[in-house]
Amino acid sequence: MGAGRLARVWAVAANTFRETVRERVLYNLVFFAIIMTLAGLLMGQLSIRQDEKIIKDIGLASMELFGTLIAIFIGVGLVAKEIERRSLHPLLAKPLGRDEFFLGKFAGLSFTLLVNVLVMAAGLALTLAGTGRRVDPHLLKAIYPIYLGLLLVVALALLFSTLTSSALAAVFTVGMVVAGRFSDVVRNMREVAPGAPAWLVQLLYYALPNFRNFDFKDRVAYGDPVPLAAMGTVTAYAAVYAAVVLLIGMSTFRSRELS
């Protein structure tokens, strides 16, 4: 990618980040802060090992939940709303390629989510430290895969955003996220539906994003070891899957008429 292209992608990404900040998307951090404060106060009543695990559980689960909600409900509007409001018409008449616009939107929301996750991670660490518990650096081995999973959700939301309205795109993205969380059910589908062709089950299993791959919350909260190789595997999975989804999204956006 040339310097000019990169500068344009960066301009779109920076503007997307500014949009999320001005549209008060980061206000979700206030809710997170309240949840973590309440968790810290309430857990004082429990035994030391038990409450540390519960604080970690609540912190990581909130991080994933808030991040997923932002990724879906902001992500589906990134392209669809621009098409509906026709705000991209003057932009695409400039030397801004549709691929650049699409990638800029992805990068901008990804950066918003990174800020969100980092602030929440700091909040979790503060809660642990503030209540006299150990701040465990291994938490990063749960937080990093959560962020990778969020990137995948953004890519899916953007893809659907190029195909249909923001409302329908939200429905499809939620569907994919839910199906991806229960991918084991898909793999074992033949136990409840023996007539389903094996190839179809296999195809569905591999085609759906497997969000369970990104779930290290329990292992980290319980203090079980998580090898670095596992991080490498989820990174590769997220990179390949997101790249394929983004390529399909760019291809559909390129051929979409903006009437």
Partner 1 sequence: MSAAAAGTTAPALDVRGLTKTYRTGLFRRTGRAALKGLDLTVHPGEILGYLGPNGSGKTTTLKILMGLVFPDSGTATILGAGLRESRWRHRVGYLPEQPYFYDYLSAGEYLDYAGRLFGMTAAARRDRAGHLLELVGLRRSAGVPLRRFSKGMMQRVGIAQALINDPELVILDEPMSGLDPIGRRLVRDIILGLKGQGKTVLFSTHILSDAEALCDRVALLRGGELVRVGDLAGILGTDVSHMEILVAGLGREAVDRLAPALRATHALGERWRLEAGEESLGKIVKGVEEAGGRVLSIQPVRRSLEDYFIKEMGERTEDGWEREG
Positive or negative: CA dihedral 129, 146, 105, 86: negative
| Cβ-based neighbours of 147, under 8 Å, separated by 6 or more | 67, 113, 114, 117
- Range in contact with partner 1 (rule: CB under 8 A) among 8-16, 153-161, 163-171, 187-195: 8-16
Tokens read off for 88:
């991209």
Distance CA 219, CA 222 (A): 5
Min dist. Cβ of residue 16 to partner 1 (A) = 10
Least distance to partner 1 from the beta carbon of 239, Å?
28
Joined tokens for residue 119: 């602030």
Provide the token pair at 94. 């400039």
CB 117 → partner 1: shortest distance, Å? 23
Query: What whole-number distance in Å separates Cα of residue 176 and Cα of residue 11?
Result: 30
Q: Which of 1, 42, 89, 190 binds partner 1 (CB under 8 A)?
A: 89
Token representation of residue 259: 């009437």
Q: Is 7 in the site for partner 1 (CB under 8 A)?
A: yes
Q: Which stretch binds partner 1 (CB under 8 A): 92-100, 134-142, 165-173, 227-235?
A: 92-100
**Which residues between 14 and 53 bind partner 1 (CB under 8 A)?**
15, 18-19, 22-23
- Rule CB under 8 A: say whether 105 interacts with partner 1: no
Residue 85 lies near partner 1 (rule: CB under 8 A): yes
Scanning 83-91, 126-134, 151-159, 228-236 for contacts with partner 1 by CB under 8 A, the matching segment is: 83-91
Residue by residue, DSSP assigns 42-88 as HHTTS-HHHHHHHHHHHHHHHHHHHHHHHHHHHHTHHHHHHHHHTTT
Choose the binding region for partner 1 from 5-13, 64-72, 112-120, 205-213 (rule: CB under 8 A). 5-13
259 near partner 1, judged by CB under 8 A: yes
Query: What does the alpha-carbon distance between residue 92 and residue 85 come to, in Å, rounded to a whole number?
Result: 14
Residues that bind partner 1 (CB under 8 A): 4, 7-8, 11, 15, 18-19, 22-23, 85-87, 89-97, 257-259
